[in-house]
A and B are shown apart, each in its own frame.
Chain A
Amino acid sequence: MQLKKKPAAIRQTLAVATASLLGGVAQNANALETSSDWEIDSALLFYAESDRIVLAEPVVRVRKDMGNDRFLTVKLVIDALTGSSANGAIPTASPQTFTTPSGNGTYTTQANEVPLDPGFRDTRGAVNADWELPLGENLTGIFGFNFSNEFDYQSVGLSATLNWETSHKMTTWTLGVGFNADTVKPVGGVPVGLTNMPVLPAIKATEGADHAKDVQDLVLGWSRVLSRRDLLQLSLGYGNESGYLSDPYKILTVVDGATGAPVADPAQRYRYEKRPRDRTRQSLLVRWSHQFENDVLRLSYRYYTDDWGVDSHTLDVRYRFELADGDYLEPHLRYYTQGAADFYHTSLIDGQSYDFASADYRLADMVTTTLGLKYGWALSDRSEFSVRAELMKQSADPSQVIGVQSQQDLVPDVDAVILQFGYTLQF
């Protein structure tokens, strides 16, 4: 055992000695630079949407140097969510009453307000474990396992990533594969897509208590040192999801095709959404990191496309200002724009037939803008405390506005505040 420990100790000593020697080059001492046997990384995230979801999420990640370039990383997450979520129906000139997903009760939305289901309350626990080890000269493997469970969803997954350094360690090729076997177990059973939401005490048509969802991912990455101060990365991603991909709690309003008003019969007025049972997605991610004298600019862009008709562009910019004593200030801007899924409909027209339909605004033409600021305090060279505050705004467009619908804000903006505290300790 003692022998196995030695390389890590020597490496650490060398790292410290190198850091001391290089002290004259890199003027600012940063926290968390030296290698360590243990690293404990923790964060507490608060996420709050105005009038909708509120979430608190504590996370702890522990990384242990097991010697001989082997590392074990374990991450635990608790995710407690409460509040209201848009159910997909459109706001109308009169109050609307909906049956809860459980089928045991109702909730009412006032006139001219976007219908929100107020009953969301869920706690999710997740564990991730990664084992990193050298597999050969310049070849490293990372093998991962993840499990998460919440009241109405369970996810189990395995992943493997290979990193291969070539060209005098100037280039790294990455191959990653992941597989997840998930189970969707909605409150009140899985509704049959596009059937009517019943009026209490009638019971909705279901197709069982739970359904499977499988997710496969493949990532091919390439990163290249461009200079002493520049790193460029490219990643191609391919993913496939199959099984139950609908949101069991989302509905659509059935309207008159001429007036845009909901149909008169309340038992025919709302239908459960239905998405295709298969989705294939592809993405291309480019990241560039550049260090000025001490400050660091990180830029990333992702292009995404899938066979549901969604195309998106994500631009992310972070600039880290190095302050005195290893502290830093990092402004962040994220801009995201997506095109609607082919089957996104703000409302359904009575008498028309649909293969698939969803009124979930997250599948609409949408822009998300996030502005944030993070401050990091170097408490010592082996510990850091940080605070991050961000504001997020989502603006989505309806697919179609018919008649009286023009008097309503069919898809209101969603505003959210993100606040995160972080603490990292090495020993």
Chain B
Amino acid sequence: MKRLILAILMATPFLLSACAIEPLAPWDRDILAQRKMQADPYPLDTALDEHIYFSKEASHGGAGVGGGGCGCN
């Protein structure tokens, strides 16, 4: 089951790329250009949250690279 979910999710880019999503004209990108629609609109919130959960849970990573380690006992 786990493998099936992973396979479906990994295939999503190719499935969606094959779908005919009409390219957006530059004047139709007003909404996506807003800060609140960016991948990481509030990077400090994200970094602070990552620091907290890195220190308090057994899993971390996955969203990007960089940052840095801490002892976090």
Contact = CB atoms under 8 A, between A and B. Distances in A.
A93 to B, nearest CB: 27
B39 A233 contact: yes
B18 to A, nearest CB: 11
Given A45-B48, A310-B58, A312-B59, A222 B13 contact: yes
14 contacts: A33-B34, A33-B35, A43-B45, A153-B69, A160-B65, A213-B69, A219-B65, A224-B21, A228-B32, A250-B73, A341-B58, A362-B56, A420-B45, A422-B45
Interface residues of A, number: 107
Interface in B19-58: 21, 23-24, 27-32, 34-37, 39, 42-45, 47-48, 51-53, 56-58
A152 B44 contact: no
B63 interface: yes
Residue of B12, B37, B51, B68 contacting most chain A CB atoms (<10 Å): B68
Given A167-B23, A304-B59, A22 B30 contact: yes
A180 B69 contact: yes
Given A30-B36, A215-B69, A338-B57, A225 B21 contact: yes
A164 to B, nearest CB: 13
A286 B21 contact: no
A239 B60 CA distance: 10
Contacts of B68: 126, 128, 146-148, 155, 157, 180
Interface of A: 18, 22, 25-26, 30, 32-33, 41-43, 45, 47, 57, 59, 61, 75, 79, 85, 120, 122, 124, 126, 128, 130, 144, 146-148, 150, 152-153, 155, 157, 159-161, 167-171, 176-178, 180, 182, 184, 213, 215, 217-219, 221-229, 231-237, 239, 247, 249-250, 281, 283-287, 289, 291, 296, 302-304, 306, 308, 310, 312, 314, 320, 328, 336, 338, 341, 362-363, 366, 368, 374, 388, 392, 394, 414, 416, 418, 420, 422
Contacts, number: 209
B43 A41 contact: yes
Given A177-B65, A374-B45, A422-B45, 19 more contacts: A43-B48, A45-B48, A148-B68, A213-B69, A215-B69, A217-B65, A218-B65, A219-B63, A219-B64, A227-B21, A228-B29, A281-B59, A284-B6, A284-B9, A304-B62, A308-B58, A366-B58, A388-B45, A416-B56
B36 to A, nearest CB: 5
B59 A124 contact: no
Nearest to B30: A22
Contacts of A250: 73
Given A47-B52, A228-B32, A234 B65 contact: no
B30 A234 contact: no
B71 A394 contact: no
Sort A-B residue pairs by CB-CB distance and give the 7 closest, nearest first.
Answer: A178-B65, A153-B71, A283-B62, A168-B23, A159-B66, A155-B69, A146-B68
A289 B61 contact: no
Contact of A30 (B6, B16, B34, B64): B34
Contacts of A153: 69-71
Contacts of A59: 44, 47-48
Contact of B61 (A126, A223, A239, A308): A239
A61 B45 contact: no
Contacts of A341: 58
Contact of A236 (B10, B16, B35, B48): B10
Given A32-B35, A296-B37, A394-B56, A237 B21 contact: no
Contacts of B69: 148, 153, 155, 157, 180, 182, 213, 215
B31 A26 contact: yes
Contacts of B59: 281, 283, 302, 304, 306, 310, 312, 314, 338
A234 B66 contact: no
A287 B9 CA distance: 12
A236 B62 CA distance: 7
